[in-house]
Structure 1
Amino acid sequence: VFGQVDFTSGALVSEATNILPIALGESTELDVNGIFQDAQGSPGGGSIIVNNNYGSINLGVEAKLGGVLAPIYVDQLPAVAGTETLTPIEKVMVWFDRTLTSSTMFSYSVSRSFEIDFTGITTQTASYVSNPGTNFGIWVVGDPTSGQGLQYTPHKLYRPLTNTFEDLPFADDQNVIRGLIDQYLNSSIGKAAMPPQFLVQATVTLPPTGDAKQLVSFLKASLPTAIVAGFTIPGDQAAGLNKVIVANLAWSALVSMKTLVAGESDVAKLERLFKYSLGLYGPGYSSLKYLELK
């Protein structure tokens, strides 16, 4: 733990105090002269306690990265005299940046970042994957070459001033996700997970100006090939008397989405992708009448 005079966005961290080795569960005193005293207590807790007798100062934390100590945190707001508790968040944010160097403080928002959760885990594998010939890629937890399936979470917009994350629009990710789904379903593990006798049936009701045949063509092009088992347009579309499409979607879609989208029930995962594909075609087509297992 250390202290520095202020937080300046774009500047490198510059320690103004001694750097004190301390473990989680221990406490230290920052005396009136700005010197950290030896750590006290027993390691093994979840926080570091700083008894600040110095006054206004920005507290920071270093950790070993690749065997070398480096700053990982500096408080944007100065701590005042009293007791400060520093509790680590076991998550890492990953993104591409051509402007920052190690130990740089920043306060601007970071777009298309990826958060990796290490809670209860010591090792994670993250991969950046993209479709050849495109300018877009996505971060996923897992190794795309393993055939074990990947965990997809939306890219985040990180706002340092409020320390909050916002999900970014799904649009740029869709083509990459389609490729990942096909890759998984065509792997030996993916094929073994498919009971093809099961179908998921989705019925879509079009708005008055909707063209069912045009929408079917769009869906066939936009959805992963392993998901769509077939479409039916009941009624006389030539006469414009029916605005309904019945889509038979393979059960394998549920298996693949389970590995790609975290935190939703199986049907909700498929529904999300299907609704999104409709939304790309036009906002009036995002109404899904029902989605059920058959």
Structure 2
Amino acid sequence: MGSYSVTIQLDNAWIDNFNKTGMKLCMAKATKDSSGKEYFNVIAKTVDSVQPQMTITWVEEYKIEATAITFSKGAQISGTAGAKDINFGQTYQIQSWNKTQVFMDTQNVEKDSFGFANNIPCSIMLSMKDGNSFVPVYISEEVVIPGMTTLTPIPKVVFWFQKTVASQTMIVNTSGTPWYVTPTAGSNSTIKYDKNGVWSQVLQ
């Protein structure tokens, strides 16, 4: 599981305006469900005071859990507990709220995915390592009926600017103009937001 880094260059023309009006840099990360659909439905990180250059880093280490929290646009995830470490090719199984386990499951789970097997209705929460803690990056948009499904974290993130939001907020769509980045593990990608409000990739 690699480490990733994206540097965001913000034109000086926006700095004072964004900070005075409470405009934040937001990031969400992609997770693919068993149908192949990509989701960016939790704000993983925000930068509350923007600067001319900001670097966002993360590590692909994950925790997974079953939760009674249900998806609600604009609500902030809080109070989660009971998450377990999970590696690619493993399945998280919940038999009851007090009985969960993680095990290798190469017969049912691809080497770049996670399995989720549940005996009770629940939502799936996936969190990613951010510094010394873990932050939610995905929650199932519907309660999952008992059965087996898979999730695949994708090294793809989206950035945008938005007011009055916070990390761990559930979202349906990004606000304003988003910019998608697929960085490479172990190297830095750079993007910029120019004085005209246009995103672009900076060639290395």
Q: TM-score range by the shorter chain?
A: 0.5 to 0.7
Question: Cα deviations across residues 187-210 of structure 1 (Å, max 9, x unaligned)?
Answer: xxxxxxxxxxxxxxxxxxxxxxxx
The structure whose residues are more often helix, as a share, is 1
Structure 2 counterpart of 1:130: 194
Match of 1:218 in 2: none
Alpha-carbon offset, residue 12 of structure 1 = 1.4
Distance 1:109 1:137 in 2: 16
Counterpart AA for 2:66: G
- C-alpha distance 91-113 of structure 1, shift in aligned 2 (>3 A): same
Paired AA for residue 143 in structure 2: P
What displacement does 1:16 show? 5.2
Aligned to 1:2: 65
* 1:50 alignment partner in structure 2: 116
Question: How far apart are the structure 2 equivalents of 1:17 and 1:36?
Answer: 12
User: Structure 2 length normalisation: TM-score?
Assistant: 0.59
User: Displacement of 1:63 after TM fit?
Assistant: 0.7
Once residues 137 and 124 of structure 2 are traced to their aligned partners in structure 1, the CA distance between those partners, rounded to angstroms, is 11
Distance 1:54 1:125 in 2: 41
59, 67, 92: which one pairs with 1:28?
A: 92
Superposed CA deviations along residues 192-230 of structure 1, whole A, max 9, x for unmatched, are xxxxxxxxxxxxxxxxxxxxxxxxxxxxxxxxxxxxxxx
Alignment of 1:139-288 (within 5 A): 139-142=199-202, 149=203
How many Å separate the matches in 2 of 1:108 and 1:92?
13
Q: CA deviation at 1:105?
A: 0.8
Aligned counterpart, 1:85: 150
Q: Partner amino acid for 1:83?
A: M
Separation in 2, partners of 1:17, 1:84: 21
Tell me the matched-pair count. Answer: 138
Residue 34 to residue 95, structure 1, CA distance change in 2 (3 Å)? farther
Contact 2:157 2:182 in 1 (8 A): yes
Distance of 1:21 and 1:111 partners within structure 2: 35
1:73 to 138, 141, 147: 138
User: Which residues of structure 1 form unaligned runs of 5+?
Assistant: 143-148, 151-294
Distance 2:138 2:113 in 1: 14
Matches of 2:99 and 2:179 in 1, distance apart? 37
- Per-residue Cα deviation, 1:224-282 (whole angstroms, up to 9, x for no partner): xxxxxxxxxxxxxxxxxxxxxxxxxxxxxxxxxxxxxxxxxxxxxxxxxxxxxxxxxxx
* Deviation for aligned residue 1:53: 0.9
> Which structure's CA Rg is the greater one?
1
Shift of 1:34: 5.5
Q: Which has the higher strand share?
A: 2
Partner Cα separation in structure 1 for residue 191 and residue 173 of structure 2: 25
2:89/2:111 contact within 8 Å kept: yes
Q: State the alpha-carbon separation in 1 of the partners of residues 100 and 79 from structure 2.
A: 12
**Residue type of the partner of 1:140?**
S
Distance apart, 1:47 and its partner CA: 0.6
The 1:70/1:16 distance shift into structure 2, 3 A limit, reads closer
Secondary structure of 1:105's match?
Answer: coil
Q: How does the TM-score come out when normalised to structure 1?
A: 0.42
Distance in 2 separating the partners of 1:98 and 1:64: 25
Alpha-carbon distance in 1 for matches of 2:198, 2:165: 21
- Counterpart in 2 of 1:40? 104
SS of the counterpart of 2:93? Answer: strand
Poorly superposed stretches of 4+, deviation over 6 Å: none
Give the deviation of 1:17 after TM superposition: 5.2
Higher relative contact order (CA 8 A, sep 6+): 2
